[in-house]
């Protein structure tokens, strides 16, 4: 097998960067197979970038480029996160479209393709990640790249009736057909994509097993739910439980039980609804007042996007109202922190919690839900309260599944989690943990790469068949 070339919008070279789901998954694949990770270095410039800068760190090779400032703003803050992100998460109220931002999106992908293609070798496998780079496969094909190219969407793919709000939705769907393999988190996401293909090009364009025939090529689709490194998280969480930050946090609880939420500050995570549900919980179960503490960690993300500044203000006001109403001299109901913690410390916090709240309004997967299960002490595990609109709900069926808009329902689930008998907690945790082990991060990247590798042989066969057809047509016409 040749090299694995991973491509993502951002390459997290900074050691202080908090690893997200995409970064954790790509790093796992790189450590298992080697290769090259290409993308943006996080810096902006006033001019067109030159050749990529090559960096070798921990035996892994990275190739990165800066982006022109204006292009970055229109491509990243504009189309990627002001248009695609809200649309794909079903937030039409926050969705907007501008022609110049879509043009920048296309331009940025063309720039990535032009800087990546000279680095490629004939035997490479190319794996493109997430919504920022949907057109990249198409741009690479235009430059003559014929190696197998796969794409994985880490966020949801919307139903056609939502997708069609985008003026360029057909171009987005068509761009995905430049890949040999298109992967999704859930079957619902894949079916939404295939339905869009059917609407645009007819039912006959989608074949058995979710294949799509386009331009004489066969595009495979698949469901590859991303996992976590269960063993590494279990060990890290157990070790972190005795660390100074976790011990200080535990001592500050003064014996109270801990409810925890860990999310990037984003309107898709259902944080405002979560804060309202916690207030409803205190109102509905007054015996819990002073007995529990809710720790919400929400690191700041895309601060330049107006919607994120607005939700920060709303959360501060909501937590302030709850604390103002219920707090006592020695107890604060909500501890709301806008800061990053080292990953190991977060795993220690998750292990210490009796309840984890994941109330996403829409989420491709949500790895915090999986990390919480992996971090728990199996002899005395906590309980996961999980949104039924997160991709993780398809696998973690033993969690307490909730509608993230149902504040009373969430409040009831919190109470049930806190009062659940030990035997039931152990049984639910054991089932969920077995699911995580069966479909961990290593199986995720192995399944995708093996399927992409198989596309190499299929592509060769299709090219040979195409040449034979053309030869037969030429002979019959002569």
Active site residues: 154, 363
- Answer yes or no: are the C-beta atoms of 233 and 319 closer than 8 Å: no
> CB of 258 within 8 A of CB of 295?
yes
Handedness of CA 294, 300, 301, 305 (dihedral sign): positive
Nearest Cα residue to 276 out of 410, 389, 400, 401: 410
Element (H, E) at 7: strand 4-10
Asked if residues 367 and 24 have their Cβ atoms less than 8 Å apart, the reply is yes
Closest CA to 222 of 188, 183, 177: 183
Sole residue written with tokens 């769907």: 173
Backbone angles phi, psi at 381, to 5 degrees: -80, 155
93: three-class secondary structure by DSSP:
helix
Structure tokens that stand for 25 in this block: 């998954």
| C-alpha separations of 27 from 7, 61, 135, 228, 448 in Å | 12, 11, 23, 12, 14
Select from 159, 394, 368, 131 the least CA-distant residue to 269: 368
Closest C-alpha to 403, from 382, 425, 387, 419: 387
Q: How far apart are CA 293 and CA 129, in angstroms?
A: 37
d(CA 40, CA 115): 11
Counting beta carbons within 10 angstroms of the beta carbon of residue 254, is it exposed (0 to 12), middle (13 to 18) or buried (19 or more)? exposed
DSSP-assigned letters across all residues of 269-281: G-HHHHHHHHHHH
Among residues 36, 38, 41, 32, the alpha carbon closest in space to that of 12 is found at: 41
Yes or no: say if 168 and 200 are a contact pair by the CB < 8 Å rule: no
How far apart, in whole angstroms, are the C-alpha atoms of residue 48 and residue 387? 43
User: DSSP alpha helices (H): ranges in 95-216?
Assistant: 99-116, 136-142, 160-163, 169-176, 187-201
Smallest CA-to-CA distance from 249 within 312, 322, 332 is with 332
- The answer to whether 222 and 183 are in contact (CB under 8 A) is yes
């Amino acid at each position: 097998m040749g090299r694995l070339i991973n491509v993502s919008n951002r390459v997290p070279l900074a050691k202080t960067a908090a690893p997200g789901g995409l970064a954790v998954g790509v790093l796992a694949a790189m450590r298992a197979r080697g290769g090259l990770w290409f993308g943006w270095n996080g810096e902006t410039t006033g001019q067109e970038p030159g050749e990529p800068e090559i960096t070798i760190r921990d035996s892994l090779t990275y190739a990165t480029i800066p982006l022109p400032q204006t292009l970055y703003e229109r491509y990243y803050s504009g189309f990627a996160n002001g248009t695609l992100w809200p649309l794909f998460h079903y937030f039409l109220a926050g969705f907007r479209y501008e022609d110049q931002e879509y043009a920048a999106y296309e331009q940025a992908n063309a720039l990535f393709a032009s800087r990546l293609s000279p680095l490629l070798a004939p035997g490479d496998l190319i794996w493109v990640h997430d919504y920022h780079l949907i057109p990249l496969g198409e741009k690479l094909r235009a430059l003559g790249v014929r190696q197998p190219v796969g794409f994985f969407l880490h966020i949801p793919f919307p139903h056609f009736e939502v997708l069609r709000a985008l003026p360029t939705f057909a171009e987005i769907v068509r761009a995905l057909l430049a890949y040999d393999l298109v992967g999704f988190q859930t079957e619902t996401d894949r079916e939404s994509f295939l339905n869009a293909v059917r609407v645009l090009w007819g039912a006959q364009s989608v074949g058995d097993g979710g294949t799509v025939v386009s331009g004489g090529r066969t595009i495979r689709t698949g469901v590859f739910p991303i996992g976590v490194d269960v063993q590494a998280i279990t060990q890290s969480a157990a070790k972190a439980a005795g660390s100074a930050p976790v011990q200080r946090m535990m001592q500050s609880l003064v014996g109270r039980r801990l409810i925890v939420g860990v999310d990037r500050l984003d309107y898709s995570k259902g944080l405002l609804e979560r804060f309202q549900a916690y207030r409803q919980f205190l109102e509905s179960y007054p015996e819990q007042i002073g007995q529990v503490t809710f720790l919400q960690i929400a690191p700041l993300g895309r601060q330049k996007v107006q919607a994120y500044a607005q939700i920060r203000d709303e959360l501060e006001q909501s937590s302030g109202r709850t604390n103002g109403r219920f707090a006592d001299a020695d107890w604060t109901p909500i501890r709301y922190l806008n800061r990053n913690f080292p990953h190991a410390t977060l795993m220690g916090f998750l292990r210490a919690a009796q309840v984890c709240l994941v109330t996403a309004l829409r989420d491709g997967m949500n790895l915090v839900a999986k990390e919480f299960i992996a971090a728990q002490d199996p002899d005395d595990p906590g309980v996961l309260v999980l949104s039924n609109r997160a991709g993780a709900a398809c696998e973690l069926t033993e969690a307490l599944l909730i509608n993230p808009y149902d504040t009373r329902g969430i409040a009831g689930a919190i109470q049930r989690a806190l009062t659940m008998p030990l035997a039931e907690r152990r049984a639910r945790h054991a089932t969920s943990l077995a699911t995580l082990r069966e479909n961990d991060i290593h199986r995720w990247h192995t399944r995708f790469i093996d399927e992409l590798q198989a596309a190499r042989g299929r592509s060769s066969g299709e090219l040979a068949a195409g040449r034979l057809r053309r030869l037969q047509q030429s002979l019959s016409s002569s």
